[in-house]
A = this chain, B = another copy of it.
Amino acid sequence: MAMQRSGKRDDILDVASRSIIEKGFAATSIEEIIVEVGITKSGFFYHFADKNELAKALFQRYIAAEDQLFDELERRAFELNEDPLHGFLINLKLLAELLDDLPNGHPGCLIASYCYQSQIFNAEIRRMNEAAILSWQKRFRAHLDRIAAVYPPRLNVDLDDMAHMLTTIVEGAIIVARALGEPKVLPRQILMYREFVRSVFQP
């Protein structure tokens, strides 16, 4: 059999992330993961010292992928329009379209998933979770600052709150979408945020 570098390790991460997002971390047994991957329990523990290590690796991979996606969307948006406001509005539109095209909707966010199970993780993972949200916050806040420098806000809103609002809406909309079985809620809520941004800044 082919011995590609870390073949099974990635398989474990793929299977585990799907299962954890669906059922939660504690409800995902190592047993079922190794059965689906086609590996033995020893094989699993060769790659990960314990379940917490799995959670950590999963999280790092997830955050890296999200960051890359955001970078890419940002780049494309500001290629289309350099203006801070219009570029950001296009950015949000692209994000909504991308999510709208996912056949089964966004699978769920590990940040939220871990958040409601935080007590079973160690401090390191909790700090990673916090750092991930703060990095989004910083990213969105930078956009808003650049916008506000050109378009003075028409409403008296705190830009930090407004930056948090996008994270808030994404996380919340994933929950509502999942609970209702209506994937479109997420893209639609992002467009609502977009309306809000427009109504705050557009003259």
Contact = CB atoms under 8 A, between A and B. Distances in A.
A188 B24 contact: no
Contacts of A53: none
A175 B27 contact: no
Interface stretch (A7-15, A71-79, A115-123, A142-150): A115-123
A94 to B, nearest CB: 19
Nearest to A200: B199
Copy number in this complex?
Answer: 2
How big is chain A's contact interface, by range?
35 or more
Interface stretch (A57-65, A83-91, A98-106, A158-166): A158-166
A44 interface: no
Residue among A155, A164, A176 with the highest chain B CB neighbour number at 10 A: A176
Interface in A126-157: 129-130, 133-134, 155, 157
Interface of A is mostly: helix
A67 interface: no
26 contacts: A22-B118, A23-B117, A24-B24, A24-B27, A24-B116, A111-B175, A113-B116, A130-B181, A133-B176, A133-B180, A155-B199, A161-B188, A164-B173, A164-B188, A165-B192, A167-B172, A167-B176, A168-B185, A168-B189, A169-B169, A171-B171, A171-B175, A172-B172, A172-B173, A172-B175, A199-B199
Interface of A: 21-27, 108, 111-113, 115-120, 129-130, 133-134, 155, 157-158, 161-162, 164-165, 167-173, 175-176, 178-181, 185, 188-189, 191-192, 195-196, 199-200
